Amino acid sequence: MPLLTITHRTEYHYARPVAFGEHRVMLRPSDGHDLRMLQGSLVITPQPAALRWIHDVFGNSVAIATFDQRSTRLSFESTAIVEHHPSEEFALTPDDRAFFYPFLYDEEEYPDLEPFIRPQYGDPEGELSAWARGFLDDGAATRSFDILSRMTHGIRAGFSYRRRHAHGTQHPLDTLQTGSGTCRDFALLMIEALRRLGIAARFVSGYLFVHDDGAGGREGGHVGGGSTHAWVQVYLPSAGWIEFDPTNGIIGSRDLIRVAVARDPYQAIPLHGSYVGGADDFLRMDVRIAVASAEDAALAAVPA
C-alpha cells in the first residue's frame, strides 16, 4: 500500500463570540508494527492558550487544548502522513489453543482481558446472546476463525448501513432489532455479541481508505469513507489483537488506519469539548475528512 495522507478538519460556527472550555482531540494515527506515523500536524484556530499531549489509559495519543479568548468560529485541522503495512488475515493451526471455540485465555492474561470480556450493555431477554450463538456450529466444536468471519460478514450482509448525525452510539439491541446502524453501531454490536461468547473484544476508531478505481470512481465496495470509521479488535491466544470491520467485511487491517482503541465507544470520541454561551449560539459543525495516497494528495494540492 502507498503512503497515505489523512486530512481531518472540524469547524464549529457560533452566532456570537463564545468562550471555549477544554477540548480533547484524538486524531493522531497510532504507531505500531503495521502503521508508522511519518509526519503530522494539528492546527487549531483560534490558537489555544495551552496545548498538551498525553497518553490515556489505553495508550491512545490525546491532545488537550484550553482557550483564553472568545470567537464565533473554532476549527481543528489535523494532517498526517502514514506508512501502512496492513496485516493479512490471521492463521491458526490446530495446535493453537484458540483454533477451536470454546477456548481458555491464559490465567496470566485474563485479568488484563477481563474488562474486554465482560458485557457492558444489558440483554434482559437474551436476544443478543441467542444471536451470537447462532454463529456456532450445532453439536460440534467451531473453529474460532469461522465464528469471527461469519459474524463480520453476517453484519455486512444482513444489516443496512446508514449515517446518523445524532451523537453517540445506539444500544446493541436497537441495532439488532432495527437491522441498521452506523459503523460505530455495528462495531459495538459485534463487540457485545463476542463478549457474550467469552471472547475479548474492544472498540477501534480511525479512518477508512477507499481506493480510487483510476476512472474517477471508487472501488472495493467500502462504505463509511469521508468520515471517521469504527471497527473491532478481537484478542486470541497466539494471534493477539486482530482487526475485524463488520461494516465492510474486512478481516485484518487492510484499508484501516487505527487512531484509538477503547473498551467502549464513548472512550474513543475523536473530538469533544464545550463552549460557554447560550444554547442558540451554536449554528453548525462542518467536518471534512479525506484519506488518499500521498501521491494523489500531493497532486491535488498543486494549482491547476
pLDDT tens for 218-251 read 445 688 788 899 999 999 998 999 999 999 999 9
Q: What are 61-114's pLDDT values in tens digits?
A: 999 999 999 999 999 999 999 999 887 767 788 999 999 999 999 999 999 999
Q: Which of 30-34, 88-92, 186-190 has the lowest mean pLDDT?
A: 88-92
264, part of any domain: no
Nearest one of 282, 199, 191, 292 to 245, comparing CA atoms = 191
CB-neighbour burial class of residue 206 (10 A; exposed 0-12, middle 13-18, buried 19+): buried
pTM for the model stands at: 0.92
For residue 93, tell me if it sits in a domain.
no
In a domain, 95, yes or no: no
Label residue 1 by pLDDT band (50, 70, 90).
low
Tally of CA atoms within 13 A in the half-sphere of 42 that contains its CB = 18
Of the listed ranges 66-75, 135-144, 161-170, 254-263, the one predicted with least confidence = 161-170
CATH code: domain of residue 294: 2.60.40.2250
What residues contact 263, with CB distance under 8 A and at least 6 apart? 58, 115, 116, 120, 202, 203
Peptide bond before 102: cis, by omega within 30 degrees of 0? yes
Which single residue is written with the C-alpha cell 464549529?
12
β-pair type (275-276, 4-20): antiparallel
If asked whether residues 177 and 290 sit together in one domain, one would say no
Contacts of 128 (CB under 8 A, 6+ apart): 121, 172, 173, 176, 189, 192, 193, 196
The number of beta carbons lying within 10 Å of the beta carbon of residue 284 is 8
Q: Please indicate, yes or no, whether residues 117 and 189 belong to a single structural domain of this protein.
A: yes
Tell me, yes or no, whether 45 lies in a domain: yes
pLDDT band at 166 (very low <50, low <70, confident <90, very high): low
Q: Are residues 107 and 174 both part of a single domain?
A: yes
| CATH number for position 148 | 3.10.620.30
Residue 124 and residue 243 in one domain: yes
- Residue 47 in any domain: the answer is yes
Same domain flag for 151 and 236: yes
Closest by CA to 267, choosing from 116, 160, 161, 122, is 116
143 and 239 co-located in one domain: yes
Does residue 304 register a pLDDT over 60? no
Omega of the bond leading into 46 within 30 degrees of 0 (cis): yes
123 DSSP assignment: -
One domain for residues 108 and 246: yes
For residue 261, tell me if it sits in a domain.
no
Is residue 145 over pLDDT 80?
Answer: yes
SS3 163: coil
207, part of any domain:
yes
Q: Are residues 206 and 273 in the same domain?
A: no
Q: What does the mean pLDDT of the chain come to?
A: 91
Residue type, 109: E
Cα angle at 118 between 113 and 122, to 5 degrees?
160
How many domains are contained in the chain?
Answer: 2
- 13 and 80, same structural domain? yes
Domain match, 143 and 44 both: no
- The pLDDT score that the predictor gives to residue 221 is 66
Same domain, 142 and 240: yes
**What whole-number distance in Å separates Cα of residue 149 and Cα of residue 144?**
9
- For residue 302, what pLDDT is reported? 45
Residue 184, domain extent:
100-254
Do 111 and 249 share a domain, yes or no? yes
Q: Is residue 263 part of a domain?
A: no
